[in-house]
Chains A and B, each alone.
Chain A
Amino acid sequence: MTTGALIFAYNNEQTDYVAMADWTAKNIRRHLGIPVALVTDRPTELKFEQVIIQPADGDNGRWFGDYGTNVKWHNQTRANAYKLTPWSQTLVLDADYVVASDQLKTVLASPQEFLAHRWAYDITGLNDFSGLNYFGAYHMPMWWATVMMFRCSEHAQLIFETMVMIRDNWTHYRNIYKNSNGTYRNDHALSIALGVVNGHILKHASIPWNLASLTPDHQLTQLAPDHYRIDFVNSDQKPRWIELHNQDFHAMGKKTLGEIVANPC
């Protein structure tokens, strides 16, 4: 059995996702000791165990608050992860997921065929994520596609093939779930797919801890390897900060993470 990570990275005019993936791959190798395959649309000189060339699929536009503009967002190939992965057990990670510990080894040791996070929370405690942990007018529970572990199995294959079906018929599924968000999101497609594949029981095996998340309105700096500081302004407009040691988190703001990637400790 081979175990490895898979990162999707498509650069746009604002963010060098491939450089971000390279930085994340180094963290993955250091903490998890597994190889990393990159899925992108052009050859790169950066070192990955495998580079899988896959044309950018779709041109979603999305508002990025940290850049203050709409940017192109190539996120639609992720549903092909099952088809593209070179590994028999795969850990799919967002390029902006900061691996600062060996926590994900527990996920890799799990006997489950598919796992993702059910709950995310704001590290600063300022933002209520209930609007992000559910989607659509029916308040459907959302599973996060930020971290996904799957093994080659019929179950995992069905989940990803259903995601592809949902992606390719996004308007239809968006209407069924009365999702006001027109932009295709992998989190929504995954959540719908899990419902379909598991018989709409709305209870699926998930990673047994919550996804620590940092929203783009906060400032992230790296103090040392695996040691980060988050500066934010509280509801009284007072500056506050919090430090993270050896804790994985999802850096939703690409701008500050991009600066760390360009000048790592």
Chain B
Amino acid sequence: MNTEQLIAHGRARFDHAAARRVLKEKYQGKLTFAHAGGMWLAGPELLATLAACTGPTSVLLDLYETPVKIMPNEFRDLVRTHWQEQMNAWLVEYDQLSKNR
């Protein structure tokens, strides 16, 4: 290892981290969706909350801290599908990014 190699490596890592951050910002938006009069972020946290809902209907707080009545089974499928669609798209772009690097 020499100093130039170390600097070049550090810069490349910095650029890669910047591109990863832009991707994260992009998918933060794409994981957001509206349902039943509320706004939601699809992801493990919401799915875990839905797993705790056992009745035919439940009331959850949406992103605007508004209580919204939902049907857990139907909503869980919707969240899971949306989450995985967007995560797959994120992976495709991430792999492309890694190739470019």
Contacts and interface: CB of A to CB of B under 8 A. Distances in A.
Nearest to B30: A103
B25 A106 contact: no
B43 interface: no
A103 B29 contact: yes
B34 A111 contact: yes
Interface stretch (B16-24, B48-56, B69-77): B16-24
B93 interface: yes
A245 B39 contact: no
Interface in A92-106: 101, 103, 106
Interface residues of B, number: 22
Contacts of B32: 106, 208-209
Given A106-B34, A236-B11, A210 B18 contact: no
A245 B11 contact: no
Contact of A210 (B25, B38, B63): B25
Nearest to A112: B64
Nearest to A246: B26
Nearest to B31: A209
A240 B15 contact: yes
A208 B33 contact: no
A103 B30 CA distance: 7
A52 B15 CA distance: 45
A205 B30 CA distance: 18
Given A112-B64, A124-B18, A242-B19, A209 B39 contact: no
Interface residues of A, number: 24
B84 interface: no
Nearest to B66: A111
Q: Which of A106, A124, A244 counts the most chain B CB atoms within 10 A?
A: A106
A205 B38 CA distance: 12
B58 interface: no
B25 A208 contact: no
A244 B96 CA distance: 12
A247 interface: yes
Nearest to A247: B26
A177 to B, nearest CB: 26
Which 6 A-B pairs give the minimum distances between C-beta atoms? A209-B29, A109-B34, A125-B18, A111-B37, A247-B26, A209-B28
Given A110-B39, A111-B37, A209-B25, 8 more contacts: A106-B32, A106-B34, A111-B39, A112-B64, A208-B39, A240-B15, A242-B19, A245-B93
12 contacts: A106-B39, A109-B33, A110-B39, A125-B22, A205-B64, A208-B29, A209-B28, A242-B18, A242-B19, A242-B22, A244-B22, A247-B26
